[in-house]
């Protein structure tokens, strides 16, 4: 698997990365977002939704667990797994149904989903200073195929591609 290491110096830079990723999204795609509290997951999601034509106010679904937003380009199903006690609760959220219906899934605390999503773009947000964040982007499975190459090229100005161990691409 190859991962792309990005550095964001501001929420605006994180938003620009979200816009670039939004341009590559297709119905039924899954984005798994991981990282500590305040690392930028919701900031990224707000910008991604805006780039997809969502006009509603986007908020973290920490307490409701799932929000659905209709954009002019795609429907976004935004989930937050932080409060789940076990991965078996994922089925109760209706994410599979939303995805089958063509929604893009954006899953905060996606690392808590285990192997539930075998096809996904993963983004891991890490604090690197007061406003600075490191974002590691990688893909799972094969559905991203050539889109990963295009995406990494578009994101990659100033970024570093780093080979990672493992069989995912």
66-72: average pLDDT: 84
Residues 112-143 pLDDT 10s = 777 788 899 999 999 988 889 999 999 988 88
Instruction: Give pTM, 2 decimals.
Output: 0.85
6-35: average pLDDT: 93
SS (H, E, C) the chain: CEEEEEEECCHHHHHHHHHHHHCCCCCCCEEEEEECCCCCHHHHHHHHHHHCCCCCCCCCCCCCCEEEEECCCCEEEEEECCCCCCHHHHHHHCHHHHHHCCCEEEEECHHHHCCCCCCEEEEEEEECCCCCEEEEEEEECCCCHHHHHHHHHHHCCCCEEEECCCCCC
User: Residue 27: its pLDDT value, please?
Assistant: 95
User: Residue 146: its pLDDT value, please?
Assistant: 83
Q: Is the pLDDT of residue 160 over 80?
A: no
Domains of the chain: 10-156 (3.40.50.300)
Query: Residue 161's pLDDT band (boundaries 50, 70, 90)?
Result: very low
Question: Which residue would you say has higher pLDDT here, 50 or 86?
Answer: 50
Question: Which residue would you say has higher pLDDT here, 157 or 32?
Answer: 32
User: Residue 3: its pLDDT value, please?
Assistant: 85
User: Residue 117: its pLDDT value, please?
Assistant: 86
Which among 29-33, 141-145, 147-151 has the top mean pLDDT?
Answer: 29-33
pLDDT, averaged across the chain = 82
User: Residue 30: its pLDDT value, please?
Assistant: 93
């Amino acid at each position: 698997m190859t991962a792309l290491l990005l550095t964001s110096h501001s929420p605006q830079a994180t938003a620009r990365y979200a816009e670039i990723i939004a341009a590559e999204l297709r119905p039924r795609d899954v984005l798994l977002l991981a990282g500590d509290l305040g690392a930028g997951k919701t900031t990224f999601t707000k910008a991604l939704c805006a780039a997809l034509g969502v006009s509603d106010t986007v908020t973290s679904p920490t307490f409701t667990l799932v929000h659905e937003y209709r954009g002019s380009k795609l429907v976004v199903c935004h989930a937050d797994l932080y409060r789940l006690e076990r991965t078996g609760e994922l089925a109760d959220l209706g994410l599979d149904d939303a995805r089958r219906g063509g929604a893009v899934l954006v899953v905060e605390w996606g690392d808590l989903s285990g192997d539930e999503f075998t096809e996904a773009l993963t983004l891991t947000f890490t604090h690197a200073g007061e406003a600075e964040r490191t974002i590691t982007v990688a893909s799972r499975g094969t559905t991203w195929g050539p889109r990963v190459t295009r995406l990494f090229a578009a994101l990659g100005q100033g970024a570093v591609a780093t080979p990672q161990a493992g069989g995912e691409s």
